[in-house]
Every structure is written in C-alpha cells, then in structure tokens.
Amino acid sequence: MLCWIALLAFSCDSSSTGGSSSSSSKANLDPDVESRIDGIMSKMTLDDKVGEMTQLSIDALSYGEPYQLDEPHKLHLDKMQEVLVDYKVGSILNVGGHAYTKEHWEEIITTIQDYAVNKKASGIPVLYGIDAIHGTNYTVDATLFPQQLAQAATWNPELSKIAGRVTAYETRASGIPWTFSPVLDLGKDPRWPRLWETFGEDVHLSSKMGEALVKGYEGDNNEIGDKEQIASCMKHFLGYSVTMSGKDRTEAWVPERMLREYFVPGFKKAIDAGSHTIMICSGEMNGIPVHTDKKILTDLLKNELGFDGIVLTDWEDIKYLYSRHRVAENDYDAIKLAINAGIDMSMVPMDLSFTKTLKKLVEDGEVSMSRIDDAVRRILRVKIKLGLFETPVTSYKDYPKFGGEEHAEASYKAAQEVITLLKNEDGVLPLSKSGKYLVTGPTANSMNYLNGGWTNTWQGDKTDWNTEGKKTILDAVKDKVGDGNVTYVEGTTINEAKNISAAASAARGKTAAIVCLGEHTYTEFVGNLEDLALPKAQLDLVNAIAKTGTPIVLVFAEGRPRVFSAVEPKVKGVIMAFLPGNEGGRATADVLFGDVNPSGRLPISYPRHVNSLVPYDHKRTAMVHTDFSMEAVNPQYPFGYGLSYTTYEYSNLKLNTEKWDGKSPLEVSVDVANTGDRDGKEVVQLYTTDYVASITPSNRRLRAFDKIDLKAGEKKTVKLTLDARDLAFVGRDLRWVTESGKFAVMVDKLTQDFELIANDNLYFEE
C-alpha cells in the first residue's frame, strides 16, 4: 500500500515510557531556555521539585475557610510562609469567591511573589493561573466578551483573536500571566452544562476559533514573555463533553476512531499553534479516569502530538480518583497513578497532601526521578518563557486601556456578529423605531443572563460586581425607541410564572412584544439538566401573549439550545443571542431595530425535539425510516443557519478539476451576490460528502468557510481550497485516510461532484 507520509502507530503503545516528550517537540525547544532550566534544576532539591508540581487555590493562603474566605479578602502570612516557603508551592490559582479589583490583585500577586522570590531559597517565582475565559472575568470592571459558543456564532476567528488579545492585556493588568482557556471540547451534546464554554459541534469551526484564541492570548509567535500576552491552557483533554448522561463529569465511552476524528483535532491544532499548557478532563473515558490514562497523557499527548508544555490536572482530580472514581484506595495510590500517567502539576487545590505524598512516592521508588524532572522542566519552561524570573508581577498602572472604551468597542463589535437571526416571518424584523413595544421575559433586564457563568463569580449569579453602566436588552431597546414607548413586565423568572397575565394585557395594542427567554447562569455540574425543553413558565408566557394577536419576537439569551417547538409557530421572529457578554444588550437591540444587519450563524444544531439531539454531521442512517411516519433529522434550525436583512444568491460553483489527483489543492470557487438592498456579511460554508467509503461517511462535513462583506448589489467570487487531508477520516485500522472515489462539494444549495483518482488511498499523520 502506498503511503505518502510516514505514519506513526495509531494504537497507542502502553509500553512506551512516561515522562519524555517526543523528538519532534524536542526539535522545537529553545536551547537557551533549556540550558537555563538545566542551571536552575541543578540546584533544586526534591522538596523544591514536588513543590513546583503543586498548585493550590488562593483559599490556602487566605483568612477564612476553603470556599468561605473572610471578607474583605486578606492574605494570611503564616499560611504564605508554610505554603510558599516551607513547601515551595510553585503555582496558585483562582479567586476567593468573587472578582477582585485590579488594585487588590496587584497587592496579592506582589505579596505572593515576594515570598516566592525573596523568602524561598530557590527564588523561583510562582505561576498564577485564573479562569479568564470571556475576558478577565475575575477582575472588577474588566472587559467582558461573548462566551465561546457565542464567539463561534460569529464564524469570524479574527474576533476571537482580538478577544484573546484584550483578555491577555487585562489579565496582565491584574498581575496574572496565565489563563485556563480555551475550552476545546467539542460541543456535540446540547444537554451538557458546559456547551456554552465550547466553540460548538463542528471540528473544523471549533479548531479555527480555538487556534485564533490561542494566538490572541499568546501572540502570533507565542511571545508570552511580552507583557501584553499570557499563556493559554487548552482544556479539558480529552473526551470531556460527550458523557452518556449529558451531565458534567459523568462517564463517557468514546471509541478511539471517534476520539481521533472528532476530539483530538481541536487540541492538535492548538498545540501546533503553540499553546503552552493543557488541563486534563475531570471525567472518565471508557472506564478509565483520564487523569490515570497514560495512553492519553503520555503516549498520545506528549509523545505523538509532541506537546512540551505543562499537563495540569483539573480541580481536585487526583483526590477524586479514590473519592469518586474508585481506581485508587488512597491519596498515595492516586498520586502515583496520575504522575506516572503523565500529569505534571496537580490542582490539589486546598492542602499540602500532594506535596508531601509525592515526595514519599519518590523516596519509595514508586515515581521515578526522571518523571519528576520531566514535569519540573516543563513547568520551568513556561515560567521562563513568561518572563516571570525578570518580572514576577506586572502592575495595572502600566495598562491604561484596562476596561476602557477601546476594549468595550472590541467586545461590542464581536457581540454584533454573535446575534443570530433564526426566524423572520412576514419581515417582522427589523422593528420600527417609531413603534410601541412590550419587553418581557426573564432575560430582558439582566446583565448576568447575558454573561453567564464565570462572570465575577464561578456561577456568574451575583449582581454585586457587575460593571456599572452596561445595558440590558431592556435598557438598549429603550435607547432605540425612547422610554415612553416601552412597557416592561417581567412575566416570569427563568422557572416560575410571575405576572404572565399582566404581560399579556400590556402586549395588547403594541407594535410587537419582545419576549426575552433563556436560562439562568450556571457552569459545570450546577447546570445539569433534567429536561432540555424551555421551562413551562416561559412557554406559558409566549402562549398568553400569542392570544393577544400582537406579533412576538423571541430573543434567547441561553447557553444551550432550549427546545421551544411547542410555541415556535406562534412567534414571528426569533433571535439567538447566546451569552453575548457585557455589550450583548446593545448588540441585540441593534439587530432588533436594524442598525446592524445580523450575520451570526449557528455553531450548533438547534433541536426541535428533546429526543432528537443529532449533530449535523451525522451518518445517513440517522435519516432512514421516514416511510413509517418517523421524522428524518429535522432540527428546529440546522447547524450553520442564520438569516440576514438582505438576501444572498449563490451561483457558479466551480472546481478547478473534476478528476483530482489529490496532490495539489482542489480549488473551489463560487459567486455570491448580495441581491437585497442592505450591506451585509455572509458566511460562505463549504461542505463535502463522500459517496462511498470504508467507514460510513457523514451526511456532510464542514471543510472550509469564509466570512465576507458584501455591499448591497455587490457580487464576489469566493475561492476556497481543499487538500486531500481535509477529506480524511480515521479508517478501520485507525489511520487517517482519504480514499479514492467520488465526492460532492456543497456550498449553499449548490453541489458539484468530483472524483479523487489516486493510485491508492492517501494516508496522513495525526
């Protein structure tokens, strides 16, 4: 069989030793940095080393109890001495309960680094990490961006890159050089409570957005020592998002074929983009907690993918190996399993048990010194590259743009492209600015529901730290049409009726009712759900208003697509705002009243039925049995869908060849015309399908896309290219392969067949 490219074995070899990074990654290491590490490590004791591998929460350094720190927050100097000097803990994370001011951050980080650098013998600075996932969301008055799923709806990676850059700047302004972002788990299950933290259900879109965000955080050349860049942390490797139950941190069963074809590529792209750290999945996959899976952590991640950065546990996950997963009896066994599998740093996160026990494991010969040295080398590599030895603390005083107008504008621009128009019957939208409106529903007058989780607090459910002056949807609608033309009635909370009949009476005689629905704020297990349908109270609100005959426009602010098919026929307009962030209210009103022509497109399938949660790239078997009055795959709105206030016409889909040898790129071109009377942005989406393949081909797969500006009446020819690798799938022998044969390229409603004629199948590396 002809193989064009030498291939690495796909079935991971469990006999390979933990601890070494692949030769390919070694080739990329900077010799100056490596020799500096040699110098530092030559002076380090075992205590220094196990300390470096420990990460504790700020709780462990503060007055109060873990999870319940005293207010106002204050560092406890005795604890600092014990943790940072006596036990030499190398990394601290998190915030104690709620966002801090940038001044308080500076005080905290300065004090911590003073202990690490001046009081600890080795003088190695601390690596502080934070969940800055949609802006620097744990610093008061930082710029808050749309959450990741919302960003994916823009189909504009450049906007995510800008979000990353601003976040890097403002995180450095808070004295912190490391964010636990992006999430690269594929959002294939709409029930999952972290769906909104993902870039959606498609591998290609998610990989492109993830790559852009990494570059935004780290810089085009990953110059993380620059004081305006930070280190990123890809998470949660691997298979986290597809639990059987749809609930957080429950079991997942993912065959290797699927793992490699769907779940590895997003991480691979970000590793190739230079991301410096990675966090491991808290769950268990195929009966093995990922934190103990050497095949995943060492063979695949470090050796095959060549990752040379820090492999970090998620929260308390080594302890969970005995308290939850039951693959170990105690801390000793759990730490041994995890470190030998390839973990470099443990997010313990509250006590010194890991540090003490790891030392004992080394002394007992259960963990090798070479494994420890590999981990410490990786940690020091990141600390050196971040410039922490030279500048352990950055000061907010050097970051005048923190939380300012320029950054708010970047968030606003992104939010404008997030807003996705899903229904516009009888051209109900855009609404007239001279009308009178009812604004109602639980998400109409809340900044928290626009921002979601990880906003000032973990769950994002407190209002105390919200940025002053930001506009809810209600505020922004009032700005468009004047206070006197808006009646606001809450109608319902997220789950309970409040004054539905008052809302219905207020709807009478109005130009339209803007009904703002959605979800409460949540993340992780707190967002586990029993029913994906929109809560009954919200459906009741729509039904009651529908009876008045006033046209209804629904606006969803939600992290998951809550099923609302029961009322969908009763509404004229539907807008999906996702979790658009602090500027999302303004952006929503811009679209409602036509100041912005919507250009968001769904990065997920919006389901119609709670038992039909099939992603768009399903197999053809998902569509059979329609003859027996069963519905084929029929989402409420498909992946990639979104309307505009103008119209686009596609024509002239052409390939440079219909008999392709797969050696040079296949060039695809298509004409796109704006045939309406408004300027707009269109997302040109290119899908392919394989007619016949040795593994059942997907119905269609997104292979390329481009977001273009088109003026009213303008026509452009869009060119996209495909490599043979773009059509590859993971075959029966677990190798990436593109098989010769017939394919179709699909753009909008146009289809063009071509044939790949190679002498044999084409194989590719991971």
Tell me which residues touch ligand BGC (CB under 6 A).
94, 131, 180, 235, 282, 314-315, 524
Token digits for 163? 């979000």
3-state SS, one letter per residue, for 202-259: CHHHHHHHHHHHHHHHHCCCCCCCCCCCCECEEEEECCCCCCCCCCCCCCECCCHHHH
CB 204 within 8 A of CB 167: no
* Between 99 and 670, CB nearer to ligand BGC: 99
- The phi-psi region of residue 196 (left if phi > 0; otherwise alpha if psi is between -120 and 50; otherwise beta) is alpha
CB of 281 to ligand BGC, least distance (A): 9
- For 469, residues 6+ apart whose C-beta sits below 8 A from its C-beta are none
Burial class of 631 by CB neighbour count within 10 A (0 to 12, 13 to 18, 19+): exposed
Residue 92 to residue 72: CA distance in whole angstroms: 19
Choice between 131 and 475, CB closer to ligand BGC: 131
CB-based contact 2:247 (threshold 8 Å): no
Least Å distance, CB 249 to ligand BGC, is 8
Q: Is 292 or 424 the residue whose CB approaches ligand BGC more closely?
A: 292
Residues belonging to the active site: 314
The CA distance from 186 to 189, in Å, is: 9
CA atoms within 13 A on the CB side of 554: 29
Give 314 or 331: the residue with its C-beta nearer to ligand BGC. 314
SS3 688: strand
Q: Would you call the peptide bond into 265 cis, given omega within 30 degrees of 0 as the criterion?
A: no
Q: Distance (Å, rounded) from C-alpha 600 to C-alpha 575? A: 10
Using the minimum distance from each CB to ligand BGC, give the nearer residue, 282 or 548.
282
Contact 97, 104 (CB under 8 A): no
Dist. CA 374–CA 378, nearest whole Å: 6
Output the smallest distance, CB 94 to ligand BGC, in A: 5
> Shortest Cβ distance from residue 235 to ligand BGC (Å)?
6
Query: What dihedral angle (degrees, nearest 10) is formed by the CA atoms of 608, 609, 611, 617?
Result: -10
Q: Which two tokens stand for residue 24?
A: 């390919």
User: What is the 3-state secondary structure of 139-158?
Assistant: ECCCCECCCHHHHHHCCCHH
Q: Which is nearer to ligand BGC, 156 or 282 (CB)?
A: 282
Instruction: CB nearer to ligand BGC: give 94 or 171.
Output: 94
CB-nearer residue toward ligand BGC: 94 or 467: 94
Give the Å distances, CA to CA, from 18 to 42, 301, 375, 712: 22, 11, 10, 59
Cα 160 from Cα 71, distance rounded (Å)? 35
SS3 1: coil
